[in-house]
Amino acid sequence: MESRAKPRCGRWWKRLLLASLALCATLLVSRALLLFADRSGWLKPLGVPFDRPPHFKPLLDSAARPQLDAATGEPLYAIVPAAGHHHGEPGFGRHALTRSKAAGSFRILSIGESTTFGAGYDPALNPAGPTASYSRFLEERLRSGYGRMVEVVNCGRNGYDSHDWASLAAELDAFVPDLLVLYVGHNELKVPNLLGVIEPAVARISRSRLLQRLFGAPQREFIAPPSLLVGPVLSAEQRRFAGALFADGVDALLDAAQTCGIPALVCLPASNVLDHRPRCSIIAAGADAEARQATVAAAGREWEDGALPDLAAAGADSSARGAARATLAAIDDLLQREPAAAILHFRRGRLLLALGDRDGAAAAIQRSQELDDLPERASPDLVALLRQRADAFHVSTVDVAARFERESERGIAGDDLFYDYCHPRLFGHWLIADELLQAIIAARWIAAPAEFHAEREPGAANATPAQRYAAWCERLDINERQSATAVLAQARGYATQLGTRPEVPSAADLANLGEYVDAALGMEPALRSDPFVTVLRALLAAACGERRGARSILEQSSERATAEITAIGALVRGLPGWIAALRSAGIEIAADGRFTWDGE
């Protein structure tokens, strides 16, 4: 009987399957080992935070040739090249520098985020006019008072956070600073840093070039949670991890100063705590969570924003005072059941301030900040870490938050000093500079060969801070309305760009445009009556589905500025995206530019 060989196909498939499984197991084990090595610090020499470095980039002219300093002929560098091209000319802050400095000069590097950069008052928004930041005010005042060359170089950048600072710190020594100023802490729980906090493994891959080459740059999308929800967004472990990242970043900068043998000043950042609510409030889980969530959302909501009345003043409306006390009692009762709801503490603080209890209000608002589950500004735990790290390095702190409290109209920093949740108005920048100036004078870092002469500054020696600020603005030819108008110009261009699309602008685009409008109105509230602002607010309301709000805005302003609004309406008629948004709210634009709607 003839024998036949058994087919070997099955053997090959088994071998292929086993090889595939072995390869997958090898990759998984390798990934785990690499992550363990990266976490243990064994790969630290290879770790690079994202792809930002080098932070200081050479300035290039239109022909891509290095731009040179007019005085020394040396190449210029800047962290934000668009701002660096205005490297200290009259009317601009100093954003660029050379590697060496002039003999006898004193160089200060201001390190930080958008507050340091001067968001809202920077060359990106106002390329044809003067710009401002606390760095610029500080440089002008030091040069005036000491009568010598002092450079305060603005090294801030919008969006900087702790994952940038280790590599930035490594570049500082090359630019021979004499003093570092740190103003940091507002971006730690915002994208992109937040993504790594939520997924620590992603953070480690993001900070290691080797791991990114092996596994690719992690792509994660963070969907912002509602402002009030059941259960926390971040666990206690994730908050601790965020704090550890922040402390490591601050340590890198302070260690760089120590290595350079130079002093440093750590600013304790200020925030708009009175007029901006917590970003994310939570309530406890449970069977009736949905009903409790609705109760918390409604309790004292009318006290969440807007101008606060002074109900403690003589002649204040007694019925309004009684209603406020009743609302306060209801919130106090609700807090017995929902003690972790940050928004209730915030509303309670505003009520207490309106009723004349400033200390109680400050404590309640402080508590709301501590309970904010996803803060978009420097939270109390991060400010405490700043103090701790400064103490560890024997570095002085400058308490900007305390200064803002002293200078604010109601004793708690709010819209009078900020144009949004954390970015100071011009007077706020002047106050930061004033605090830094006092610290520098007291330390006598620039004392030799002369003392600081305050009489060289504009304004009377016995003038109030607000009067001295006004005198400096006059000397530097800057003012708040000028800056707000520049922001509105940007908003106009952005709105036109969005309107040329056939569809209603997306939620993200509307949020960005709304930030421009809010910033301009925060800088100069009087612009609310500007016809262009009126139309823009109505367009935003319509596109966001606020049908009655859009009509109300137009109704309230139609009699005051009919001709101007009609002229703007004629322009809007040519923008299909905004026409679609208005129609969704039942609003049409007539041939002559008039806004019309039914009597609903």
Q: Which of 371, 404, 421 is the last residue of a domain?
A: 371
CA atoms 547, 552, 553, 555: torsion sign: positive
Among candidates 35, 23, 19, 18, which has minimal Cα distance to 214?
35
Asked, for residue 17, whether it belongs to a domain, the answer is no
What is the domain count for the chain? 3
Same domain? For 297 and 255 the reply is no
Q: Which two tokens stand for residue 323?
A: 């209603």
- Distances from the Cα of 306 to the Cαs of 17, 106, 217, 348, 569, in angstroms? 67, 45, 43, 14, 29
The pLDDT assigned to 1 comes to 46
Over range 223-246, report the average pLDDT.
90
Same domain? For 240 and 364 the reply is no
Average confidence score pLDDT of the chain: 88
Asked, for residue 470, whether it belongs to a domain, the answer is no
Q: What is the pLDDT of residues 274-304, one digit of tens each?
A: 999 999 999 988 889 999 999 999 999 999 9
Q: Which two tokens stand for residue 462?
A: 């016995």
Angle at 78 between CA 103 and CA 144, to 5 degrees: 45
Same domain? For 131 and 275 the reply is yes
- Distances from the Cα of 334 to the Cαs of 283, 341, 344, in angstroms? 11, 10, 8
In this prediction, residue 211 has a pLDDT band, given cuts at 50, 70 and 90, of low
The pLDDT assigned to 321 comes to 95
Residue 101 lies in domain? 46-220+228-280+374-444
The pLDDT assigned to 547 comes to 87
The pLDDT assigned to 50 comes to 42
Same domain? For 386 and 355 the reply is no
Q: Which residues contact 492 (CB under 8 A, 6 or more apart)?
A: 532, 536
In total, the chain counts a number of residues equal to 600
Asked, for residue 341, whether it belongs to a domain, the answer is yes
The pLDDT assigned to 44 comes to 43
Asked, for residue 320, whether it belongs to a domain, the answer is yes
Same domain? For 87 and 131 the reply is yes
The answer to whether residue 47 scores a pLDDT higher than 70 is no
Q: What is the pLDDT of residues 387-420, one digit of tens each?
A: 999 999 999 999 999 999 999 999 999 999 999 9
Q: Residue 343's domain is classified under what CATH number?
A: 1.25.40
Asked, for residue 143, whether it belongs to a domain, the answer is yes
Same domain? For 206 and 66 the reply is yes
